[in-house]
């Protein structure tokens, strides 16, 4: 049997940890021995999580700054350092969603979602960068989404913000390599306040429907599955940096952005359109063993079918 992986003494800030996935992350990390800073704009919810952690013998601090406010991001890292003297892990998890047809999505919604997802991730990473560098390293886990990576209707502002978070993670992973700062992103699927909203919409009460099986599937996905992955990504033994990991229905898988083998055309002249058309299948073929989801829903079909094989 492999050794138990502990996070004793590690200090981790989890944003949006008053509910849903963030709460499951904080609880799992505390069980593994980490000191937690439990951030959420919902003060009561964050306090409840801190009380639960303390009741279980763990150590945790409440923070209610908003990740959408750059000063709030700086303040929550300052509070972490003031209490614990270091910061080993940051989980950028807080977020909100807006479900609406593209044509009805206004600038205010785009700004709000960019501020909470991309702005929060950017400013928090910036705030931990110096202390983590001075300590010789640290771990940052960002949160992207299949809506941003694979596409999902009616989530234009949300998907754009989540796609941008994946881009930020890639740049910071490379910039952090020499500093010992490892950056990864999770792409969760789990029952939460947010997916209840998606579920209502997928049942036909909002713009997403009718996709009742998506609503039913999401409602059964336990946040603790993603929590286990997040805890591993924060563990010093985890070798990953610059990875995106999907969790869906008990399956964990790296999500890669990579060119497929492709078609190698002439080098001494540009290819003709006719040659491109003739080689189109080769240009698009992902190669053996990889099935590219057509969209966010299609990932569930792929997982379900691979379970049945």
Ligand X SMILES: NC(=O)c1ccc[n+]([C@@H]2O[C@H](COP(=O)([O-])OP(=O)(O)OC[C@H]3O[C@@H](n4cnc5c(N)ncnc54)[C@H](O)[C@@H]3O)[C@@H](O)[C@H]2O)c1
The residues of the shown chain that bind ligand X, judged by CB under 6 A, are 15-16, 18-22, 39-42, 45, 66-68, 93-96, 116, 143, 145, 188-190, 192-195
CA distances from 242 to 141, 176, 204, 239 (A): 10, 10, 37, 10
Residue 46 Cβ, how far from ligand X at the closest point, in Å? 8
Q: Are 81 and 131 in contact (CB under 8 A)?
A: yes
Does the annotation mark 158 as catalytic?
yes
Give the CA-trace dihedral at 174, 241, 95, 30, to 10 degrees. Answer: -140
Q: Which is nearer to ligand X, 45 or 231 (CB)?
A: 45
Beta strands in the chain (DSSP E): 11-14, 35-39, 59-63, 89-91, 138-143, 181-187, 243-248, 251-254
Report, in Å, the least distance between residue 269 CB and ligand X: 45
- Write down the catalytic residue from 25, 158, 245, 297: 158
The residue with its CB nearest to ligand X is 20
Q: Provide the β-strand partners of residue 291.
A: none
Q: Cβ 84 to ligand X, closest distance in Å? A: 19
**Cβ 283 to ligand X shortest distance, Å:** 30
Is the Cβ of residue 75 or residue 283 nearer to ligand X in the bound state? 75
Do residues 223 and 180 make contact, with C-beta atoms less than 8 angstroms apart?
no
Cβ proximity to ligand X: between 31 and 42 the closer is 42
Spatial separation of the C-alpha atoms in residues 45 and 246, rounded to whole Å: 27
In the complex with ligand X, which residue's Cβ is closer, 19 or 131? 19
**End-to-end alpha carbon distance in the chain:** 28
Catalytic (active-site) positions: 158
């Amino acid at each position: 049997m492999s050794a138990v992986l502990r996070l004793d003494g590690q200090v981790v800030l989890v944003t949006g940890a008053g509910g849903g996935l963030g709460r499951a992350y904080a609880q799992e990390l505390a069980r593994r021995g980490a000191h937690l800073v439990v951030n959420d704009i919902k003060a009561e919810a964050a306090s409840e999580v801190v009380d639960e952690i303390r009741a279980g013998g763990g150590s945790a601090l409440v923070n209610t700054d908003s990740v959408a406010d750059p000063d709030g991001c700086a303040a929550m890292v300052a509070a972490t350092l003031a209490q614990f003297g270091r910061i080993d892990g940051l989980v950028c998890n807080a977020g909100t969603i807006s479900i609406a047809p593209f044509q009805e999505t206004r600038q205010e919604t785009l700004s709000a979602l960019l501020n909470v997802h991309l702005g929060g991730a950017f400013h928090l990473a910036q705030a931990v960068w110096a202390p983590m560098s001075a300590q010789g390293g640290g771990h940052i886990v960002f949160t992207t989404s299949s809506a941003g990576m694979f596409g999902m209707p009616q989530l234009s502002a949300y998907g754009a913000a989540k796609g941008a978070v994946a881009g930020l993670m890639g740049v910071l992973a490379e910039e952090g390599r020499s500093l010992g700062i490892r950056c990864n992103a999770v792409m969760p699927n789990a029952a939460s306040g947010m997916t209840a909203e998606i579920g209502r919409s997928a049942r036909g009460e909002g713009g997403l429907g009718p996709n009742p099986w998506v609503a039913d599937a999401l409602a059964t996905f336990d946040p603790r599955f993603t929590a286990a992955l997040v805890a591993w990504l924060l563990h010093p033994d985890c070798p990953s940096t610059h990875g995106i990991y999907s969790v869906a229905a008990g399956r964990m898988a790296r999500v890669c952005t990579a060119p497929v083998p492709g078609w190698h055309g002439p080098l001494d002249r540009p290819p003709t359109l006719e040659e491109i058309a003739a080689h189109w299948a080769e240009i698009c073929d992902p190669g053996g063993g990889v099935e590219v989801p057509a969209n966010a829903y299609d990932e569930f079909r792929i997982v379900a079918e691979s379970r049945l094989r």
